[in-house]
Structure 1
Amino acid sequence: MKRAFFKALVKLNNLVMPSLYKKDPMKLSTIQKGVLGFRYWALTNSMK
């Protein structure tokens, strides 16, 4: 059930949140770093 929740969260992230994969992480603002971290956290939990 936990994995299904995170898979749904990742799909929602892909639709709603901006894609930051082409940007340099060192040049991102604090909010963009937070978004990137949240997306990474949700993705890694959906794969466990």
Structure 2
Amino acid sequence: MYKFLAKLNKILLPSFTKQGLDISKAKKWQMAIIGYRAFVTKRALGN
């Protein structure tokens, strides 16, 4: 399930690293997306 979510995230959600986003200046909604993507990626790699 998490592998599917990781692939879906890669397609649908923006990549802030490619945009050169500074984490210390990120808005709350950007931080939420970063955290969600990290959580799903960690789970997908662990299975």
For the criterion TM > 0.5, the same-fold answer is yes
User: Pairwise CA RMSD of aligned residues?
Assistant: 0.6
1:22-41, Cα deviation, whole Å (9 max, x unpaired): 21111110000000000000
TM-score, normalised to structure 1, is 0.86
Equivalenced residue count is: 44
Query: Which residues of 2 match residues 1-48 of structure 1 at below 5 A?
Result: 5-21=1-17, 22-48=20-46
1:3-34, Cα deviation, whole Å (9 max, x unpaired): xx111000000111011112111111000000
Residue identity in the other structure for 1:10 = A
Q: Identity over the aligned pairs, expressed in percent?
A: 27
After the TM superposition, which segments of 4 or more aligned residues of structure 1 sit over 6 Å from their partners? none
Q: Which runs of 5+ in 1 are unaligned?
A: none
